[in-house]
Amino acid sequence: MATQVFNIVILISGRGSNLRSLIDNAKSYRIGAVLSDKPDATGLDHARYAGIPAFGFQRSQYSSLLEHKLAIYREIEKKPYDLIVLAGFMQILENEFVQKHRGKIVNIHPSLLPEYKGLNTHRRVLNAFIQSAGKKNTHGCTVHYVHSAIDSGPIIAQAPCAIEPKDSEAQLADRVLQQEHRLFPWVIDKIAIQNIQYQSGTVAIDQQTISEGRSLGFKIGVT
Ligand code: GRF
């Protein structure tokens, strides 16, 4: 009996290093398409190189930002994807779209949520490190299901990393990114095999997956 493929669509806006990691580390999921609100996003080249259908949506071709985003939503909804993966997608999703796909959208964010929602997380984390005289010395990334408010929704897993006293913003960002590249494919894979599930607004994770994640240095099912 043929096993059912877990089909995902990935949304990006830029360089696509997380997309690259999702391509390279795919075990139990298949990337059906990659969409970008920026047709010149380098990430689209990674997708095309890997033979994945890739589509860029040029803002100037639409009468408004809303029309631009609606075109992307229509493309997503043409096919029955099992999961919508935001990998550096820099647009805010419409509430209606999020509600319609509740439990089927995941995002990666470069901080240990709920701390440091929004942009420029590395700079803000470094400032807090300095102001706390080195006491606030942990940073990291979070994969979470997407609810309507920005960078909110049930946290699935986090990958922490240390802040070093001599870190520049770029060095810290790079250390966090290395963690993102480990965490994201691992989580998507576990969702694909249903070891991680969205259940009535919360995350359900089986014990073996929790243990495996912890052995990899991840924080699992943080509430
Ligand atoms: C990552 O830091 C991710 O956490 C954030 O946007 C960035 C995307 O980087 N949401 P890349 O395009 O995957 O390299």
At CB < 8 A and 24+ separation, what contacts does 124-128 make? 125/163, 125/172, 126/163, 126/167, 126/169, 126/172
Give me the sign of the Cα torsion angle 69, 16, 55, 82. negative
Report pTM. 0.96
181 closest CA partner among 151, 196, 162, 159: 159
DSSP 3-35: PPPEEEEEEESS--HHHHHHHHT-SSEEEEEEE
Ligand 1 atom nearest to CA at 89: 10
Out of 109, 122, 139, 144, the active site residue is 109
206 closest CA partner among 214, 218, 197: 197
Q: Is 147 among the catalytic positions?
A: no
Instruction: Give me ligand 1 centre to Cα 223, in Å.
Output: 23
Query: What average pLDDT does range 188-211 have in this prediction?
Result: 97
pLDDT tens sequence across 57-66: 999 999 999 9
pLDDT tens sequence across 155-175: 999 999 999 999 999 999 999
Tell whether ligand 1 has an atom less than 6 A from the beta carbon of residue 146: no
CB-side neighbour CA atoms (13 Å) of 42:
6
Query: What average pLDDT does range 81-97 have in this prediction?
Result: 97
Query: What average pLDDT does range 103-130 have in this prediction?
Result: 97
Instruction: Give me ligand 1 centre to Cα 181, in Å.
Output: 10
What's residue 222's pLDDT?
A: 61
How confident is residue 98, by pLDDT bands cut at 50, 70 and 90? very high
Residue 111 to residues 93, 117, 145, 147, 178, Cα–Cα distance (Å):
20, 7, 15, 17, 13
What's residue 179's pLDDT?
A: 98
Tell whether ligand 1 has an atom less than 6 A from the beta carbon of residue 16: yes
Ligand 1 atom nearest to CA at 12: 12
Ligand 1 atom nearest to CA at 16: 12
Is the pLDDT at 1 greater than 80? The verdict is: no
What's residue 150's pLDDT?
A: 87
Query: What average pLDDT does range 1-17 have in this prediction?
Result: 89
With a pLDDT cut of 90, the percent of the chain lying above it is 95
Query: Pairing mode, if any, of strands 219-220 and 155-162?
Result: antiparallel
How confident is residue 218, by pLDDT bands cut at 50, 70 and 90? very high
How confident is residue 126, by pLDDT bands cut at 50, 70 and 90? very high
Residue nearest to atom 10 of ligand 1 (CA): 88
* DSSP-H helix ranges across the chain: 17-24, 42-49, 65-77, 95-100, 121-131, 169-192, 207-215
pLDDT tens sequence across 30-45: 999 999 999 999 999 9
Tell whether ligand 1 has an atom less than 6 A from the beta carbon of residue 112: no
